[in-house]
Amino acid sequence: MAITSHPPLVLRLVVTGGGTGGHTYPALTAVRTLRELLRARGRSLDVLWIGSADSLEARVAEAEGIAFTAVATGKVRRSSNPLRMVSPANVRDMARVPLGVAQARKAVAGFRPHVVLATGGYVAVPTGLAARMCRVPLVLHEQTVRLGLANRRLAGSASRIAVSSESTLPLLPESVRSLAVVTGNPVRPEVLTGHPGKAVAALGLGFDLALPTVYVTGGAQGSQQINEVVGGELPWLLERANVVHQCGPAHYESLAARAATLPAHLAVRYHVTPFVGAELPDVLALASVVISRSGAGTLAELTALGKPAVFIPLASAAGNEQAHNARHLEESGAAVALVGEVGGERLRAAVAPLLEDPLRREAMAVAARAQGRPDAADRLVDVLLTAASE
């Protein structure tokens, strides 16, 4: 597609990617950042999001007022046994990909974008291939240390590959390494603007603020593994710290019942909640240490904020990416990675040095900030604009 030498007053962007928040929210942050930048320059943005019907990305696009087109997609169910990859479900889904590509090609050709942004997930493959067919610049964004399956499939069609870490560069195929740009993983701006005092007020916390505060989270739905190991160590933890525990709706009643058995002087240091919403930036600002999963979005936020972390990776994450993410930060001194089976003894061994030694916490915070890229959205937008102008 020919692009005029002068920037168009209306930039047309196709976004594809989703299935999980890790793929969806970086794309949304990039869209918001690009829209604001263009508005400041007297220009505007027209966006079409292409993804799966009845999906997270469809709901996010609708809430944001972004036009959405659904295409057929095929999910690859991975297995360490290659024979199990040839499952009836995989064969059936892969047969849907050609239809999805045809649908995506029709949508891309009709919308005539200046650039396509693909943020990963199997939903991105049809549109990424359609971009190549329509000769539209394709920018891939990878949130994790290693390229995900969809981005590996699309790498040969990309104009640019935006990666979140320097460590990704040597892992790229040599044939596409020259296309790579380290941008970081876009972080929602509001996450960076929290205030500890607001968390104390909003949650009605009766914490001993002379103690460090631990924020425990397993994501919006919670994590049974994290909840069980932390729940079993509550008396030990609360002797040394305050704890804000976001446990997920399904686990709240059992943890609230356990909290009711705590001595009064410890119970006042424990706040358990099914969900943390708008107050999340303030809770993160209050936290001295975070115990959590190690998804790409979590890593981006915690490193941008410079938060010491103890990661308990989700073992079933695609391609074992959470373990790779956690180990990457551990190797840089920015976190502790507890991979595999995690009991109370391992948790105590990881957390105790951080709670007992403020200097150790600060050293880890410095190392985390060195890995963080709070300007990742701006960097990714620059890549998109460059690709669109070529």
Same-domain pairing of 236 and 182 = no
How confident is the model over 182-196, as a mean pLDDT?
95
Same-domain pairing of 262 and 178 = no
Same-domain pairing of 88 and 180 = yes
Q: Cα 86 to chain center, whole Å?
A: 29
Same-domain pairing of 59 and 175 = yes
Structural domain total, the chain: 2
Domain assignment present for residue 5? The answer is: no
Q: Which helix (H) or strand (E) holds 163?
A: strand 160-163
pLDDT of residue 82: 53
Domain assignment present for residue 2? The answer is: no
Same-domain pairing of 69 and 141 = yes
Same-domain pairing of 242 and 159 = no
Domain assignment present for residue 4? The answer is: no
Residue closest to 348 by CA, chosen among 236, 271, 249, 251: 236
Decide: helix, strand or coil at residue 180.
Answer: strand
Taking CA atoms, 207 is separated from 214, 254, 275, 303, 351, in Å, by 11, 22, 19, 25, 19
Condensed to tens digits (0 to 9), the pLDDT of residues 253-307 reads 999 999 999 999 999 999 999 999 999 999 999 999 999 999 999 999 999 999 9
| Band of pLDDT at residue 3, cut at 50, 70 and 90 | very low
- Cα-Cα end-to-end distance for the chain: 10
Give the alpha-carbon dihedral of 65, 66, 68, 74, to 10 degrees: -120
| Band of pLDDT at residue 321, cut at 50, 70 and 90 | confident
Same-domain pairing of 180 and 232 = no
pLDDT of residue 77: 44
Same-domain pairing of 183 and 239 = no
Between helix 21-40 and helix 376-389 the angle, nearest 10°, is 70
How confident is the model over 381-386, as a mean pLDDT?
98
Same-domain pairing of 282 and 199 = yes
Domain of 361: which CATH number?
Answer: 3.40.50.2000
Distance CA 241, CA 143 (A): 32
Q: Give the residue numbers spanning the domain of 305.
A: 189-371
Same-domain pairing of 105 and 252 = no
pLDDT of residue 318: 61
Same-domain pairing of 181 and 118 = yes
Domain assignment present for residue 327? The answer is: yes
pLDDT of residue 312: 96
Condensed to tens digits (0 to 9), the pLDDT of residues 25-79 reads 999 999 999 999 999 999 999 999 999 999 999 999 999 999 999 999 866 544 4
pLDDT of residue 390: 86
Largest CA distance in the chain: 71
Is the confidence at residue 221, as pLDDT, over 90?
Answer: no
How confident is the model over 151-174, as a mean pLDDT?
94
Distance CA 342, CA 246 (A): 19
pLDDT of residue 79: 47
DSSP character at residue 319: G
Distance CA 368, CA 362 (A): 10
Same-domain pairing of 181 and 196 = no
